[in-house]
Chain A
Amino acid sequence: MSDSSNQIEICFEINGRQVTQTVPVRMHAADFLRHQIGLTGTHLGCEQGICGMCTISVDDRPVKSCLMLAVQLDGAKVRTVESLAPDETELHPLQAAFKRHHALQCGFCTPGFLMLARSFAGRRMNRAEIAEEISGVLCRCTGYEGILRAIEEWLPGTWTDASLSDEAGQ
Protein backbone atom coordinates (compact mmCIF):
# COMPACT_ATOMS: atom_id res chain seq x y z
CA MET A 1 0.00 0.00 0.00
CA SER A 2 1.33 3.40 -0.94
CA ASP A 3 1.83 5.82 1.94
CA SER A 4 -0.17 8.99 1.92
CA SER A 5 1.94 11.86 0.71
CA ASN A 6 1.27 14.91 -1.34
CA GLN A 7 3.82 13.89 -3.94
CA ILE A 8 4.01 10.54 -5.60
CA GLU A 9 6.30 9.02 -8.19
CA ILE A 10 4.63 7.67 -11.31
CA CYS A 11 5.99 5.76 -14.28
CA PHE A 12 4.09 5.69 -17.55
CA GLU A 13 4.47 5.64 -21.33
CA ILE A 14 3.88 8.89 -23.18
CA ASN A 15 3.80 8.89 -26.97
CA GLY A 16 6.08 5.88 -27.09
CA ARG A 17 8.65 6.86 -24.46
CA GLN A 18 8.84 5.73 -20.85
CA VAL A 19 8.78 8.52 -18.26
CA THR A 20 9.23 8.54 -14.47
CA GLN A 21 8.20 11.72 -12.65
CA THR A 22 7.18 12.89 -9.21
CA VAL A 23 3.79 14.61 -9.26
CA PRO A 24 1.68 16.50 -6.73
CA VAL A 25 -1.30 14.26 -6.02
CA ARG A 26 -3.82 17.06 -6.56
CA MET A 27 -2.58 17.82 -10.08
CA HIS A 28 -4.85 16.62 -12.87
CA ALA A 29 -3.45 14.78 -15.87
CA ALA A 30 -3.89 17.68 -18.32
CA ASP A 31 -1.90 20.12 -16.18
CA PHE A 32 0.72 17.46 -15.65
CA LEU A 33 1.13 16.81 -19.38
CA ARG A 34 1.27 20.52 -20.16
CA HIS A 35 3.40 21.86 -17.31
CA GLN A 36 5.62 18.96 -16.27
CA ILE A 37 5.99 16.99 -19.48
CA GLY A 38 5.87 20.09 -21.69
CA LEU A 39 3.29 18.72 -24.11
CA THR A 40 1.08 21.76 -24.56
CA GLY A 41 -0.92 20.33 -27.47
CA THR A 42 -3.52 19.11 -24.97
CA HIS A 43 -5.76 22.08 -24.27
CA LEU A 44 -7.87 22.94 -21.24
CA GLY A 45 -11.26 24.59 -21.41
CA CYS A 46 -13.75 24.01 -18.63
CA GLU A 47 -11.86 21.68 -16.27
CA GLN A 48 -15.15 20.11 -15.29
CA GLY A 49 -15.58 17.43 -17.92
CA ILE A 50 -17.91 19.24 -20.31
CA CYS A 51 -15.93 20.74 -23.20
CA GLY A 52 -13.65 17.84 -24.20
CA MET A 53 -10.66 20.06 -25.15
CA CYS A 54 -8.38 17.94 -22.96
CA THR A 55 -9.25 14.58 -24.58
CA ILE A 56 -6.25 12.25 -24.70
CA SER A 57 -5.85 8.51 -25.20
CA VAL A 58 -5.18 6.41 -22.10
CA ASP A 59 -4.67 2.70 -22.71
CA ASP A 60 -6.20 3.16 -26.16
CA ARG A 61 -9.40 4.83 -24.94
CA PRO A 62 -10.18 8.53 -25.32
CA VAL A 63 -10.71 10.17 -21.93
CA LYS A 64 -10.85 13.68 -20.52
CA SER A 65 -7.54 14.41 -18.89
CA CYS A 66 -8.99 17.11 -16.61
CA LEU A 67 -11.07 14.39 -14.93
CA MET A 68 -8.06 12.19 -14.21
CA LEU A 69 -5.38 12.77 -11.64
CA ALA A 70 -1.83 12.58 -12.90
CA VAL A 71 -1.23 9.78 -10.39
CA GLN A 72 -3.87 7.72 -12.19
CA LEU A 73 -1.61 7.68 -15.25
CA ASP A 74 0.82 5.47 -13.34
CA GLY A 75 1.48 2.39 -15.49
CA ALA A 76 -0.68 3.63 -18.37
CA LYS A 77 0.01 4.03 -22.07
CA VAL A 78 -0.78 7.65 -22.91
CA ARG A 79 -1.11 9.31 -26.32
CA THR A 80 -1.56 13.03 -26.90
CA VAL A 81 -2.08 15.01 -30.09
CA GLU A 82 1.73 15.25 -30.40
CA SER A 83 1.75 11.51 -31.22
CA LEU A 84 -0.13 11.95 -34.49
CA ALA A 85 2.13 13.69 -37.03
CA PRO A 86 5.20 11.63 -38.00
CA ASP A 87 7.42 14.74 -38.11
CA GLU A 88 7.46 18.53 -38.33
CA THR A 89 6.66 18.61 -42.03
CA GLU A 90 4.07 15.89 -42.48
CA LEU A 91 0.54 15.67 -41.10
CA HIS A 92 -1.22 12.54 -39.87
CA PRO A 93 -3.92 11.52 -42.42
CA LEU A 94 -6.62 12.59 -39.95
CA GLN A 95 -4.99 16.00 -39.55
CA ALA A 96 -4.68 16.31 -43.33
CA ALA A 97 -8.40 15.56 -43.67
CA PHE A 98 -9.18 18.23 -41.05
CA LYS A 99 -7.09 20.71 -43.05
CA ARG A 100 -8.75 19.79 -46.36
CA HIS A 101 -12.27 20.13 -44.99
CA HIS A 102 -11.73 23.31 -42.96
CA ALA A 103 -12.57 21.31 -39.85
CA LEU A 104 -11.00 24.01 -37.70
CA GLN A 105 -10.96 27.76 -37.48
CA CYS A 106 -9.37 28.90 -34.24
CA GLY A 107 -8.03 25.40 -33.61
CA PHE A 108 -8.48 25.38 -29.85
CA CYS A 109 -10.73 22.31 -29.87
CA THR A 110 -8.80 20.49 -32.59
CA PRO A 111 -6.54 18.36 -30.35
CA GLY A 112 -9.63 17.08 -28.56
CA PHE A 113 -11.41 16.17 -31.80
CA LEU A 114 -8.28 14.56 -33.24
CA MET A 115 -7.65 12.36 -30.22
CA LEU A 116 -11.32 11.35 -30.03
CA ALA A 117 -11.64 10.68 -33.78
CA ARG A 118 -8.33 8.82 -33.82
CA SER A 119 -9.96 6.19 -31.61
CA PHE A 120 -12.56 5.46 -34.33
CA ALA A 121 -9.88 3.90 -36.58
CA GLY A 122 -11.02 0.57 -37.97
CA ARG A 123 -14.70 1.13 -37.17
CA ARG A 124 -17.58 1.36 -39.65
CA MET A 125 -19.62 4.40 -38.69
CA ASN A 126 -22.29 6.38 -40.50
CA ARG A 127 -22.62 10.14 -40.18
CA ALA A 128 -25.18 9.96 -37.38
CA GLU A 129 -22.95 7.63 -35.39
CA ILE A 130 -19.94 9.89 -35.88
CA ALA A 131 -21.99 12.89 -34.76
CA GLU A 132 -23.08 11.01 -31.63
CA GLU A 133 -19.54 9.84 -30.86
CA ILE A 134 -18.00 13.31 -31.16
CA SER A 135 -20.65 14.94 -28.97
CA GLY A 136 -18.17 15.04 -26.08
CA VAL A 137 -16.02 17.74 -27.68
CA LEU A 138 -17.38 21.23 -28.28
CA CYS A 139 -16.47 23.48 -31.21
CA ARG A 140 -17.66 27.07 -31.25
CA CYS A 141 -16.29 28.01 -34.69
CA THR A 142 -17.10 25.45 -37.34
CA GLY A 143 -20.64 24.24 -36.77
CA TYR A 144 -19.18 20.72 -36.91
CA GLU A 145 -19.92 20.15 -40.62
CA GLY A 146 -16.29 20.23 -41.68
CA ILE A 147 -15.32 18.01 -38.75
CA LEU A 148 -17.91 15.41 -39.75
CA ARG A 149 -16.74 15.52 -43.38
CA ALA A 150 -13.09 15.17 -42.41
CA ILE A 151 -13.75 12.14 -40.20
CA GLU A 152 -16.03 10.59 -42.84
CA GLU A 153 -13.29 10.94 -45.44
CA TRP A 154 -10.49 9.66 -43.22
CA LEU A 155 -12.28 6.66 -41.70
CA PRO A 156 -12.38 4.26 -44.71
CA GLY A 157 -8.60 4.58 -45.05
CA THR A 158 -8.23 3.01 -41.60
CA TRP A 159 -10.21 -0.13 -42.36
CA THR A 160 -7.35 -2.03 -43.96
CA ASP A 161 -4.40 -0.39 -42.27
CA ALA A 162 -3.01 -3.17 -40.07
CA SER A 163 -0.64 -0.76 -38.33
CA LEU A 164 -3.63 0.89 -36.69
CA SER A 165 -5.37 -2.22 -35.51
CA ASP A 166 -3.70 -2.29 -32.11
CA GLU A 167 -5.20 1.08 -31.34
CA ALA A 168 -8.57 0.49 -32.93
CA GLY A 169 -10.42 0.13 -29.62
CA GLN A 170 -13.18 2.46 -28.53
Chain B
Amino acid sequence: MKASDFLYHRPESVPQVLGLLRDYAGGARILAGGQSLMPMMNLRLWRPAALIDIGRIPDLERLEQKGDVTILGPRFPYWRIENDRVIAERLPLLARMVRKVGDRQVRNRGTIGGSLVQADPTGEMPLGTLILGATIHAESIRGRRAIPVEQYFLGSYATAIEPDEMLVAVEYPRHPAYFSFAEVNRRHNDFAVVSVAVAGDRAADGTWHNLRIGLGGVDETPVLALAAMRRGEGTLLQAPDIAQMGILAAEHIDPPDDFRASADYRRHLTRVHLTRVLGSMLASAGFREE
Protein backbone atom coordinates (compact mmCIF):
# COMPACT_ATOMS: atom_id res chain seq x y z
CA MET B 1 0.00 0.00 0.00
CA LYS B 2 0.95 3.64 -0.07
CA ALA B 3 1.18 6.14 2.77
CA SER B 4 -1.81 8.43 3.22
CA ASP B 5 -1.22 12.11 2.63
CA PHE B 6 0.66 14.29 5.07
CA LEU B 7 2.39 17.65 5.26
CA TYR B 8 6.15 17.54 4.86
CA HIS B 9 8.69 19.67 6.67
CA ARG B 10 12.45 19.61 6.38
CA PRO B 11 13.73 21.91 9.14
CA GLU B 12 17.37 22.84 9.37
CA SER B 13 17.79 22.91 13.12
CA VAL B 14 16.61 21.16 16.27
CA PRO B 15 14.80 24.28 17.59
CA GLN B 16 12.77 24.33 14.35
CA VAL B 17 11.85 20.67 14.92
CA LEU B 18 10.75 21.43 18.47
CA GLY B 19 8.57 24.32 17.27
CA LEU B 20 6.88 22.06 14.71
CA LEU B 21 6.32 19.31 17.30
CA ARG B 22 4.64 21.86 19.55
CA ASP B 23 2.48 23.21 16.71
CA TYR B 24 1.27 19.77 15.65
CA ALA B 25 0.58 18.70 19.26
CA GLY B 26 1.15 15.00 18.68
CA GLY B 27 0.03 14.90 15.04
CA ALA B 28 3.53 14.89 13.58
CA ARG B 29 6.16 12.17 13.37
CA ILE B 30 9.89 12.66 12.99
CA LEU B 31 11.39 11.00 9.90
CA ALA B 32 15.04 9.93 10.16
CA GLY B 33 16.04 6.68 8.42
CA GLY B 34 12.41 5.68 7.99
CA GLN B 35 13.02 1.95 8.38
CA SER B 36 10.33 1.59 11.06
CA LEU B 37 8.21 4.62 10.23
CA MET B 38 7.80 4.00 6.49
CA PRO B 39 6.48 0.41 6.83
CA MET B 40 3.96 1.62 9.44
CA MET B 41 2.84 4.39 7.08
CA ASN B 42 2.79 2.23 3.94
CA LEU B 43 0.59 -0.24 5.82
CA ARG B 44 -1.53 2.71 7.02
CA LEU B 45 -1.16 1.60 10.60
CA TRP B 46 -0.07 5.20 11.16
CA ARG B 47 -1.44 8.27 9.36
CA PRO B 48 0.45 11.22 10.81
CA ALA B 49 -0.75 14.69 9.82
CA ALA B 50 2.83 15.73 9.17
CA LEU B 51 6.34 14.36 8.82
CA ILE B 52 9.32 16.30 10.12
CA ASP B 53 12.33 15.13 8.11
CA ILE B 54 15.49 15.56 10.23
CA GLY B 55 17.73 14.19 7.48
CA ARG B 56 19.35 17.55 6.73
CA ILE B 57 20.03 18.78 10.25
CA PRO B 58 23.78 18.84 10.77
CA ASP B 59 25.46 17.08 13.67
CA LEU B 60 22.72 14.54 14.42
CA GLU B 61 25.04 11.68 13.40
CA ARG B 62 27.66 12.66 15.94
CA LEU B 63 29.71 10.29 18.07
CA GLU B 64 31.13 11.91 21.20
CA GLN B 65 33.63 10.43 23.64
CA LYS B 66 33.82 11.92 27.13
CA GLY B 67 36.06 9.76 29.27
CA ASP B 68 34.24 6.43 29.60
CA VAL B 69 30.98 7.90 28.31
CA THR B 70 29.95 7.53 24.68
CA ILE B 71 27.19 9.71 23.25
CA LEU B 72 25.40 8.96 19.99
CA GLY B 73 23.33 11.46 18.06
CA PRO B 74 19.78 10.35 17.17
CA ARG B 75 20.59 9.81 13.50
CA PHE B 76 23.70 7.67 14.17
CA PRO B 77 23.17 4.90 11.62
CA TYR B 78 23.18 1.14 12.16
CA TRP B 79 25.89 0.65 9.55
CA ARG B 80 28.26 2.78 11.59
CA ILE B 81 27.41 0.89 14.78
CA GLU B 82 28.28 -2.23 12.80
CA ASN B 83 31.55 -0.97 11.28
CA ASP B 84 32.91 1.97 13.26
CA ARG B 85 36.17 1.21 15.10
CA VAL B 86 35.30 3.53 17.98
CA ILE B 87 32.00 1.68 18.50
CA ALA B 88 33.77 -1.70 18.30
CA GLU B 89 36.06 -0.56 21.09
CA ARG B 90 33.63 1.39 23.27
CA LEU B 91 30.22 -0.26 22.69
CA PRO B 92 31.06 -3.78 21.47
CA LEU B 93 27.75 -5.24 22.67
CA LEU B 94 25.85 -2.90 20.33
CA ALA B 95 28.22 -3.73 17.46
CA ARG B 96 27.51 -7.43 18.02
CA MET B 97 23.75 -7.03 18.35
CA VAL B 98 23.27 -4.69 15.40
CA ARG B 99 24.13 -7.49 12.99
CA LYS B 100 20.75 -8.98 13.89
CA VAL B 101 18.90 -5.79 12.98
CA GLY B 102 17.02 -6.03 9.69
CA ASP B 103 19.22 -6.73 6.69
CA ARG B 104 21.95 -4.90 4.78
CA GLN B 105 19.61 -2.39 3.17
CA VAL B 106 17.79 -1.65 6.43
CA ARG B 107 21.08 -1.17 8.29
CA ASN B 108 22.17 1.28 5.61
CA ARG B 109 19.26 3.60 6.47
CA GLY B 110 18.08 2.83 10.01
CA THR B 111 19.26 4.83 13.03
CA ILE B 112 19.74 4.34 16.77
CA GLY B 113 17.24 7.10 17.57
CA GLY B 114 14.63 5.60 15.27
CA SER B 115 14.98 2.20 16.89
CA LEU B 116 14.68 3.58 20.42
CA VAL B 117 11.63 5.68 19.56
CA GLN B 118 9.97 2.73 17.80
CA ALA B 119 10.59 0.58 20.92
CA ASP B 120 9.87 -2.76 19.34
CA PRO B 121 9.73 -5.22 22.27
CA THR B 122 11.89 -7.65 20.29
CA GLY B 123 14.33 -4.98 19.05
CA GLU B 124 18.06 -5.46 19.48
CA MET B 125 19.04 -1.81 20.00
CA PRO B 126 16.42 -1.28 22.75
CA LEU B 127 17.69 -4.40 24.55
CA GLY B 128 21.36 -3.45 24.16
CA THR B 129 20.67 0.09 25.32
CA LEU B 130 18.83 -1.26 28.39
CA ILE B 131 21.68 -3.63 29.27
CA LEU B 132 24.24 -0.86 28.98
CA GLY B 133 22.27 1.40 31.33
CA ALA B 134 22.10 4.32 28.93
CA THR B 135 20.47 7.69 29.47
CA ILE B 136 18.07 8.97 26.81
CA HIS B 137 18.11 12.73 26.31
CA ALA B 138 14.87 14.30 25.12
CA GLU B 139 14.19 17.91 24.26
CA SER B 140 11.10 20.06 23.73
CA ILE B 141 10.47 23.77 23.79
CA ARG B 142 9.80 23.23 27.50
CA GLY B 143 13.41 22.19 27.98
CA ARG B 144 15.70 19.22 28.01
CA ARG B 145 15.55 16.18 30.26
CA ALA B 146 17.48 12.98 30.84
CA ILE B 147 15.53 9.73 31.04
CA PRO B 148 17.25 6.68 32.58
CA VAL B 149 16.72 3.77 30.19
CA GLU B 150 15.09 1.75 33.00
CA GLN B 151 12.24 4.31 32.93
CA TYR B 152 12.20 4.83 29.17
CA PHE B 153 10.31 1.84 27.74
CA LEU B 154 6.68 2.05 28.83
CA GLY B 155 5.09 -0.68 26.75
CA SER B 156 4.93 -2.30 23.35
CA TYR B 157 6.00 0.46 20.92
CA ALA B 158 5.56 3.02 23.72
CA THR B 159 8.21 5.18 25.36
CA ALA B 160 8.55 8.03 27.86
CA ILE B 161 9.13 10.49 24.99
CA GLU B 162 6.27 13.02 25.05
CA PRO B 163 4.50 14.04 21.82
CA ASP B 164 6.28 17.42 21.80
CA GLU B 165 9.69 15.92 22.52
CA MET B 166 12.52 14.81 20.26
CA LEU B 167 15.12 12.22 21.21
CA VAL B 168 18.34 14.25 20.86
CA ALA B 169 21.06 11.96 22.24
CA VAL B 170 21.75 8.54 23.72
CA GLU B 171 24.41 8.52 26.40
CA TYR B 172 26.13 5.23 27.21
CA PRO B 173 28.18 4.92 30.42
CA ARG B 174 31.34 2.82 30.62
CA HIS B 175 30.80 -0.49 28.84
CA PRO B 176 31.38 -3.57 31.04
CA ALA B 177 34.47 -5.59 30.15
CA TYR B 178 32.60 -8.74 29.13
CA PHE B 179 29.36 -9.44 27.34
CA SER B 180 27.50 -12.02 25.30
CA PHE B 181 24.33 -12.14 23.23
CA ALA B 182 22.07 -14.76 21.67
CA GLU B 183 18.81 -14.56 19.79
CA VAL B 184 16.31 -17.17 18.61
CA ASN B 185 14.47 -16.46 15.34
CA ARG B 186 11.97 -18.55 13.45
CA ARG B 187 13.47 -17.35 10.17
CA HIS B 188 16.50 -15.35 9.13
CA ASN B 189 15.88 -11.62 9.78
CA ASP B 190 12.57 -12.31 11.52
CA PHE B 191 11.58 -10.67 14.80
CA ALA B 192 13.23 -12.37 17.78
CA VAL B 193 11.25 -15.04 19.59
CA VAL B 194 13.56 -14.55 22.56
CA SER B 195 16.82 -12.61 22.82
CA VAL B 196 19.22 -12.67 25.74
CA ALA B 197 22.10 -10.29 26.39
CA VAL B 198 24.48 -10.19 29.36
CA ALA B 199 27.33 -7.93 30.42
CA GLY B 200 29.56 -7.66 33.46
CA ASP B 201 32.99 -7.10 34.96
CA ARG B 202 35.22 -9.71 36.54
CA ALA B 203 37.36 -8.83 39.59
CA ALA B 204 40.89 -10.13 40.12
CA ASP B 205 39.56 -12.84 42.47
CA GLY B 206 37.29 -14.12 39.70
CA THR B 207 34.00 -12.79 41.10
CA TRP B 208 31.56 -11.03 38.77
CA HIS B 209 30.21 -7.54 39.32
CA ASN B 210 27.95 -4.98 37.66
CA LEU B 211 26.11 -7.90 36.09
CA ARG B 212 23.39 -6.87 33.67
CA ILE B 213 21.04 -9.44 32.17
CA GLY B 214 18.42 -8.39 29.66
CA LEU B 215 15.68 -10.27 27.83
CA GLY B 216 13.87 -9.34 24.64
CA GLY B 217 10.64 -10.77 23.26
CA VAL B 218 9.38 -11.95 26.66
CA ASP B 219 7.30 -8.92 27.64
CA GLU B 220 5.87 -5.65 26.28
CA THR B 221 9.33 -4.10 26.56
CA PRO B 222 12.88 -5.38 26.86
CA VAL B 223 13.34 -6.30 30.53
CA LEU B 224 16.16 -6.73 33.02
CA ALA B 225 16.21 -10.13 34.72
CA LEU B 226 16.62 -8.57 38.16
CA ALA B 227 16.34 -11.75 40.24
CA ALA B 228 18.97 -13.48 38.13
CA MET B 229 21.21 -10.40 38.26
CA ARG B 230 21.03 -10.35 42.07
CA ARG B 231 21.71 -14.08 42.24
CA GLY B 232 24.83 -13.78 40.10
CA GLU B 233 26.28 -10.56 41.51
CA GLY B 234 29.53 -11.19 43.38
CA THR B 235 29.64 -14.91 42.55
CA LEU B 236 32.20 -16.80 40.45
CA LEU B 237 29.39 -17.70 38.03
CA GLN B 238 30.03 -21.37 38.57
CA ALA B 239 27.77 -23.96 37.02
CA PRO B 240 25.27 -24.06 39.95
CA ASP B 241 25.08 -20.23 39.97
CA ILE B 242 24.37 -20.15 36.27
CA ALA B 243 21.78 -22.93 36.48
CA GLN B 244 19.91 -21.10 39.22
CA MET B 245 20.09 -17.81 37.36
CA GLY B 246 18.51 -19.46 34.33
CA ILE B 247 15.65 -20.81 36.48
CA LEU B 248 15.14 -17.44 38.21
CA ALA B 249 15.04 -15.56 34.89
CA ALA B 250 12.45 -17.98 33.47
CA GLU B 251 10.32 -17.81 36.65
CA HIS B 252 10.15 -14.02 36.75
CA ILE B 253 8.87 -13.38 33.25
CA ASP B 254 5.33 -13.44 31.88
CA PRO B 255 5.99 -13.99 28.18
CA PRO B 256 3.40 -13.67 25.42
CA ASP B 257 1.67 -16.64 23.81
CA ASP B 258 1.53 -15.97 20.07
CA PHE B 259 2.05 -17.44 16.62
CA ARG B 260 5.84 -17.31 17.02
CA ALA B 261 5.99 -19.31 20.23
CA SER B 262 4.01 -20.32 23.29
CA ALA B 263 4.68 -18.72 26.67
CA ASP B 264 6.09 -22.01 27.97
CA TYR B 265 8.46 -22.32 25.05
CA ARG B 266 9.68 -18.74 25.57
CA ARG B 267 10.32 -19.53 29.24
CA HIS B 268 12.25 -22.63 28.20
CA LEU B 269 14.28 -20.66 25.65
CA THR B 270 15.03 -17.97 28.23
CA ARG B 271 16.46 -20.49 30.70
CA VAL B 272 18.48 -22.37 28.09
CA HIS B 273 19.89 -19.32 26.33
CA LEU B 274 20.66 -17.40 29.50
CA THR B 275 22.79 -20.31 30.74
CA ARG B 276 24.49 -20.44 27.34
CA VAL B 277 25.28 -16.73 27.06
CA LEU B 278 26.58 -16.67 30.63
CA GLY B 279 28.79 -19.61 29.68
CA SER B 280 30.05 -17.83 26.59
CA MET B 281 30.69 -14.63 28.58
CA LEU B 282 32.77 -16.71 31.02
CA ALA B 283 34.62 -18.28 28.10
CA SER B 284 35.36 -14.81 26.70
CA ALA B 285 36.95 -13.98 30.08
CA GLY B 286 39.24 -17.01 29.71
CA PHE B 287 37.17 -19.41 31.81
CA ARG B 288 35.44 -22.52 30.76
CA GLU B 289 32.08 -23.47 32.11
CA GLU B 290 32.46 -26.45 34.47
Contact = CB atoms under 8 A, between A and B. Distances in A.
24 contacts: A1-B16, A4-B50, A5-B7, A25-B7, A25-B8, A26-B4, A27-B2, A28-B2, A48-B43, A49-B39, A63-B105, A67-B39, A67-B42, A69-B31, A69-B34, A69-B38, A69-B51, A69-B53, A72-B31, A72-B34, A72-B53, A72-B55, A116-B104, A170-B108
Contact of A25 (B6, B38, B55, B109): B6
A2 B9 contact: yes
A64 B2 contact: no
Nearest to A3: B9
Given A49-B106, A135-B188, A26 B2 contact: yes
A62 B34 contact: no
The 9 closest A-B pairs by CB, nearest first: A136-B103, A25-B8, A4-B7, A67-B38, A61-B108, A48-B39, A2-B10, A64-B105, A49-B39
B109 A52 contact: no
B103 A135 contact: yes
A133 interface: yes
B34 A136 contact: no
Interface of A: 1-2, 4-6, 8, 25-28, 31, 47-49, 52, 55, 61-64, 66-69, 71-72, 116, 119, 133-136, 170
B35 interface: yes
Interface in B99-139: 102-106, 108-109
B1 interface: yes
A94 to B, nearest CB: 16
Interface residues of B, number: 35
Interface string B50-63: 11010100000000
A55 B9 contact: no
B109 A68 contact: yes
Contacts of B106: 49, 64, 67, 136
Of the candidates A55, A66, A67, the one having the most CB atoms from chain B within 10 angstroms of its own CB is A67
A135 B189 contact: yes
B50 A61 contact: no
A125 B267 CA distance: 37
A88 to B, nearest CB: 29
Nearest to B189: A135
Contacts of B50: 4
B85 to A, nearest CB: 15
Contacts of B55: 72
A8 B8 contact: yes
B7 A48 contact: no
B257 interface: no
Contacts of B31: 69, 72
A1 B12 contact: yes
A22 to B, nearest CB: 13
Interface string B24-37: 00000001001100
B3 interface: yes
A136 B53 CA distance: 25
A43 to B, nearest CB: 14
Given A63-B108, A67-B35, 7 more contacts: A25-B8, A26-B4, A27-B2, A28-B42, A49-B106, A61-B79, A69-B51
B122 to A, nearest CB: 15
B2 A136 contact: no
A67 B8 CA distance: 16
Contacts of A136: 102-106, 189
Contact of A6 (B2, B5, B39, B53): B5
A52 B38 contact: no
B22 to A, nearest CB: 15
Residue with the greatest number of chain B CB neighbours at <10 A, chosen from A4, A116, A134: A4
B11 interface: yes
A63 B109 contact: yes
B192 to A, nearest CB: 15
B34 A133 contact: no
